[in-house]
């Protein structure tokens, strides 16, 4: 296989949550498609140094704040690249197309209507998904879930929730989902269903989380009609399975010891870091973690953290 060309690229986000993208010139590799600004890492440079240089050269901004977002190795028929993507949230100057390229600031909900190179799918997922996802605990009723949820979202400013209630019937789940979906409509919070693909499609769910068993049984990503399909992973083999089957994100657990499963052996940070590295999929670390773990999770290349008790009321 040909050598991987190391490329640094940036998901640049402004204070209104818009993302900056540029159009690749027609005569370049993957020309005519939209891209996240960036370019090749030169000899003797780190990826972050290349990013800072490329953003100055291509769009005239000075990076003042950035963190790792995702790494995507990808093999085009004519070229192999390793896209080393950073989330840029601080910069000096006004971004513009210094090389004559078309550029635009896009609201996140519009990003999917632009055409990007095939390698960019996981980058789009990472750009669109939140960094913290709440998983609901077992509750006595959907009304109880809803009131707890409203308090949690308000207090912790969460932008994603997996509505999980394992003990209830499909009918009860359906009613609970409708209740929560209505309460969250108009908010920025992504509601993720936790049920079968069939039920999620019936609910017109935009996002669905699969158990490891359901991931194992999955034969066709397209069976789920919504935008984001995630899965629970506990091993490197499962992570790879989720990537191969076209999932959009995963949770990886248990990272640390939890109150709910004190005797289950945990993976620990070193193993998590090893597994997350180079996996072209956003990974949420889960199990015994709270907000204090977020920065560490992002620094090892994870999307962020998922938790139940850390944010429940």
35 marked ligand binding residue: yes
Any binding-site annotation on 188? no
Task: Give the three-class secondary structure for 272.
Answer: helix
Cβ-Cβ contacts under 8 Å for 204 (sequence gap 6 or more)? 225, 226
Number of neighbouring beta carbons within 10 Å of residue 115: 10
Reading the block at residue 261, the tokens are 């499963």
36 labelled binding-site residue? yes
Span of 27-35, 184-192, 211-219, 260-268 interacting with ligand 8DG by CB under 6 A: 27-35
Q: How far is the CB of 81 from ligand 8DG (least distance, A)?
A: 5
Of Mg ion, ligand 8DG, none, which one does residue 75 interact with (CB within 5 to 8 Å by kind)?
Answer: none
Nearer to ligand 8DG, 75 or 225 (CB): 75
The residues pairing with 79 across neighbouring beta strands, listed in sequence order, are 76
Should residue 120 be labelled a site residue for ligand 8DG when binding is judged by CB under 6 A? yes
Nearest to 71 by CA among 304, 234, 302, 306: 302
119 in the Ramachandran plot: left (φ > 0), alpha (ψ -120 to 50) or beta? alpha
Q: What is the DSSP letter of 41?
A: P
Judged by beta carbon distances under 5 to 8 A according to partner kind, the member of ligand 8DG, Mg ion, none in contact with residue 30 is ligand 8DG
Cα distances from 276 to residues 89, 159, 185, 279, 297, in angstroms, run 23, 22, 32, 6, 10
Give the binding range for ligand 8DG (CB under 6 A) out of 114-122, 148-156, 178-186, 227-235: 114-122
Q: Exactly one of 33, 39, 45, 300 binds Mg ion (CB under 5 A); which one? A: 39
Is position 29 an interface residue for ligand 8DG (rule: CB under 6 A)?
yes
Inter-CA distances, 71 with 46, 59, 75, 192, Å: 14, 22, 13, 24
Position 39 contacts ligand 8DG (CB under 6 A): yes
**29 assigned to a ligand binding site:** yes
CB-nearer residue toward ligand 8DG: 54 or 248: 54
Q: From the list ligand 8DG, Mg ion, none, which binds 117 (C-beta under 5 to 8 Å, kind-based)? A: ligand 8DG
Interface residue with ligand 8DG among 79, 157, 225, 261 (CB under 6 A) is 79
What's the CA gap between 250 and 306, in Å, rounded? 10
If the CB atoms of residues 78 and 244 are measured against Mg ion, the closer one turns out to be: 78
Cβ atoms of residues 228 and 200 within 8 Å: no
Question: What is the Cα 182 distance to its own chain's centre?
Answer: 24
Q: Which is nearer to ligand 8DG, 280 or 288 (CB)?
A: 280
Answer yes or no whether residue 40 interacts with ligand 8DG by CB under 6 A.
Answer: yes
Please give the span between the terminal C-alpha atoms of the chain, in angstroms, as a whole number.
51
What is the token pair recorded at 178?
Answer: 């409708």
Smallest gap from residue 58 Cβ to ligand 8DG (A): 7
If the CB atoms of residues 117 and 288 are measured against ligand 8DG, the closer one turns out to be 117
Name the residue nearer to ligand 8DG (CB basis): 69 or 119.
119
Residue ranges for the known binding site for Mg(2+) are 38, 58
Binding interface with Mg ion (CB under 5 A): 39
């Amino acid at each position: 296989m040909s050598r991987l060309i190391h490329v640094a690229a940036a998901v640049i986000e402004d204070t209104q949550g818009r993302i900056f993208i540029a159009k690749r010139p027609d005569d370049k590799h993957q020309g005519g498609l939209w891209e996240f600004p960036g370019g090749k890492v030169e000899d003797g440079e780190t990826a972050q140094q290349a990013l800072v240089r490329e953003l100055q050269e291509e769009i005239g901004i000075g990076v003042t704040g950035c963190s790792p977002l995702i790494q995507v190795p990808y093999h085009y028929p004519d070229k192999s690249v390793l896209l080393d993507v950073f989330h840029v949230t601080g910069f000096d100057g006004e971004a513009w197309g210094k090389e004559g390229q078309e550029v635009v600031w896009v609201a996140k909900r519009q990003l999917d209507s632009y055409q990007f190179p095939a390698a960019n799918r996981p980058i789009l997922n990472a750009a669109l998904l939140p960094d913290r996802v709440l998983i609901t605990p077992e509750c006595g009723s959907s009304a109880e879930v809803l009131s707890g949820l409203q308090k949690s979202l308000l207090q912790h400013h969460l932008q994603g929730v997996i509505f999980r209630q394992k003990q209830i019937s499909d009918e009860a789940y359906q009613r609970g989902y409708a209740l929560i979906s209505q309460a969250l409509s108009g908010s920025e919070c992504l509601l993720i269903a936790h049920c079968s693909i069939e039920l999620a499609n019936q609910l017109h769910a935009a996002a669905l989380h699969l158990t490891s068993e359901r991931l194992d049984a999955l034969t066709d990503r397209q069976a789920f009609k919504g935008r984001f399909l995630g899965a629970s992973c506990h091993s490197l083999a499962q992570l790879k399975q989720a990537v191969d089957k076209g999932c959009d994100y995963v949770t990886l657990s248990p990272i640390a010891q939890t109150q709910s499963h004190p005797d289950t052996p945990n993976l620990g940070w070193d193993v998590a870091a090893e597994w997350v590295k180079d996996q072209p999929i956003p990974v949420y670390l889960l199990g015994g973690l709270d907000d204090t773990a977020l920065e560490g999770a992002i620094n090892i290349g994870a999307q962020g953290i998922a938790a139940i008790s850390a944010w429940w009321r």
